[in-house]
Amino acid sequence: MKKLFFIAILLAQWTVSYSQDKVSIYESGEPVRDYETNFKNLINNWTPKNVTNAGEYDLLECSFVETLDDSTRYKFYRNYFSGEEALYSSILGRDGGDSKGKIHELYIRPGYLYAELYDTRGMTPEQKTLLSEDFRKEARNLFESEMDIETMQLNHYYYKYEQIDTIVKSSQGFDISGIERSYKGFEAASPDTISQKYIDYALNEIEDKKELDTTERRKLLLEEILIRKTSSQLFFNEQVGIGDRVYVIKFQYNGRIYNNYVICSAKSKKVVMDYFFKNITL
């Protein structure tokens, strides 16, 4: 089923847990001391042992594109990563065990954010009515428009929630309890007002979205697109600097060729910007 509204807002919602010990697929293996090590680790780790459906992919090449040596190219890629062309990964997996031993499954699918604005195939009549051609055109224009946050006065919304759980593990007949502390929160920014409805329905999810009529749902989707674009640009500024290097990873999946652009830090040499492979942790 396609998720039409309140798509998990990358960069605007976050969760941190002290129990996490995984690292990016780029950093699992050899220590990253040069740019090329990122891609060597990626290729070495791209196996069915780590990624269950790795065999569905053909990693064709990893090549250098350019250095971000001026503000013009910097802004170009900032808009690229906050727009419709950036490639994302859909990740589905599980870890556990049964009588036969440990279970590890991880499935990766390529896709694009707000794909429903460009393709309505497979949608129900109700969904197609909601995403009328006129509305999709309006939403696409907003999503595809260039943005320069350095020239904007931004409004911010920030919320943090601390959760403490008691974890009980059984080992050799003994129950061992421990404390796991995690932080969950939301951070959003927009050049426009961040409405209370958006906070209640999209971020805190304290209200039932079914209560909204068509006009309200459309309005909130437009607000989400603007907030996502703004948050993506702010995140880009935090991660990427002048002098960083751009690479492209070309791969084939289900007969289609994809170009996934990534940015490596000139200081650490590590991949700092990538919405496809970097989200895969081992």
Output the CA angle 196-202-205, nearest 5 degrees. Answer: 95
* pLDDT attached to residue 16: 38
The rounded distance, in Å, linking the Cα atoms of 247 and 42 is 13
Q: Are 183 and 163 in contact (CB under 8 A)?
A: yes
* pLDDT attached to residue 98: 62
* pLDDT attached to residue 70: 97
* pLDDT attached to residue 93: 87
Domain range summary for the chain, segments of one domain joined by +: 25-161+188-273
**Which residues does 145 contact at the CB level (< 8 Å), separation at least 6?**
none
Q: What is the per-residue burial (b if ≥16 Cβ within 10 Å, else e) of 76-91?
A: ebbbebbbeebbbbee
* pLDDT attached to residue 229: 97
The rounded distance, in Å, linking the Cα atoms of 80 and 260 is 11
DSSP string over the chain: ----SS---TTTEEEEETT----BTTTSSS---SHHHHHHHHHHH-STTTSTTGGGEEEEEEEEEEE--SHHHHHHHHHHHTSSS-EEEEEEEEEEEETTEEEEEEEEEEEETTGGGT--TT--HHHHHHT-HHHHHHHHHHHHS---GGGS--EEEEEEEEEEEEEEEEETTEEEEEEEEEEEEEEEEESS---HHHIIIIIS--S-GGG--HHHHHHHHHHHHHHHHHHHHHHHHHH--TT-EEEEEEEEETTEEEEEEEEE-TTT-SEEE-SSSTT-B-
Structure tokens at 209: 């979205």
Q: Is 157 exposed, middle or buried (0-12, 13-18, 19+ CB in 10 A)?
A: middle
* pLDDT attached to residue 36: 98
Query: How confident is the prediction along the chain (282 residues), in pLDDT tens digits per residue?
Result: 344 443 333 333 333 333 346 899 999 999 999 999 999 999 999 999 999 999 999 999 999 999 999 999 999 999 999 999 999 999 998 877 666 667 889 999 999 999 999 999 999 998 999 999 999 999 999 999 999 999 999 999 987 777 666 655 555 555 555 666 666 677 899 999 999 999 988 887 777 777 899 999 999 999 999 999 999 999 999 999 999 999 999 999 999 999 999 999 999 999 999 999 999 999
